[in-house]
Structure 1
């Protein structure tokens, strides 16, 4: 049977034709496939002298199914097994309905002409934070700060109380860790909610459903990093303006430095608008940190992945 006719039968949902196409694609890897249809799920068994490589095999079948667009199939369950083993060495799933939606979304995003992308880059230079970076700096960072403050008040109170009662420092350390993790997971779940709402990201089938995906966890982690770095940078810039630096050694010894600080700190801040200046430095620094992270993901991360992929291929050869 010619290959065009075989592909036509596969698109119509013919199981034998689908298996033949999979075997043809995996022939170079010495992997053979068997398949059976159970309701709307196609179960594929991959066998070889060695355990079939999971990622590349699943990716190949995923691409094939997206090209075939078989309406009667909703999912694919893939088993990988070494010949002679009684049970599968690994199992993976492909949810075709979601995969088709993701593929359509990615294709709609990818059709933007290169000339338009260049125009956008000319209009908005890379050294100036993009609107998304400003949005994150203005929304996420204040949210993290409020959450972190509330979290530390709650966990700090109970941590100190329980640590004093039980005389165990481990409880206080655990409370501090929980105080740090609470904002991280809050931002991660908020990010996960929005990407799920707009279907902007494909979630790995092997990832636990109760946990936000890695990208969302990274957003929560990086938000705390940006908060700390931008706050530290603001303090360093404004430190020379604090009146406490004008106290001499005698005033510090006599404990009058704190009194001077209390009396003049508000005057300094009101006179030189240090509150507004500090908040401005804080937000601008946060926006540039988010811009740096975005540029790294867009320009350098693909190069790193490509370099690692080429290195792994050379090792195999």
Structure 2
């Protein structure tokens, strides 16, 4: 006789079945939650990389502006420093004729001493080495003085002569009115002179002529005075 009781689940089987069913139910309930969790994780990482991309793009977009701002700041800082230095040094630029003339005088006499030894200038025997001496520096200082004085004299002469202004029409001096200043008698050469003076080039030309004449007289005065001192020192008679 067969034992059909073996086909009936025992308590252990029911417990295992119940546990498996519970696990299946839990798994069934957890699958959507896991799916949602993976979706959230995917979205989070996607958003994270997207935010990183946006941040990097923003940084890359701002990088040229940052570099430009830094460069502009550096340039402005250097410009401010250079501008201050220029404002500080610009008055010293007026003294540039002194070293220029000093070195030019020094090397000119060096060349004369080498290639024309038969000449006997006053400074012979004083020009030595490659650095200007006291005589060369004196000539540089005197050149600056001559430049300023000659400019003042030439501009003063041009300003006090009404017929030598920049434009005769601007001065209200027409050819007919100019005759009043020369006794109402204008000959051919005066008309030619007035025609020349009407040209815009005459003023710098007249300034150059007056400046050259004034500078020549100033140098002549310096030469005469220096020669007088040399004659006094040597015991010879001076022409002064």
Choose between structure 1 and 2: higher helix proportion: 2
Task: Give me the TM-score of the superposition, normalised by structure 2.
Answer: 0.41
Choose between structure 1 and 2: higher strand proportion: 1
Task: Give me the TM-score of the superposition, normalised by structure 1.
Answer: 0.32
Larger radius of gyration: 2
Work out which structure has the larger RCO, using CA pairs closer than 8 Å and 6 or more positions apart in sequence.
Answer: 2
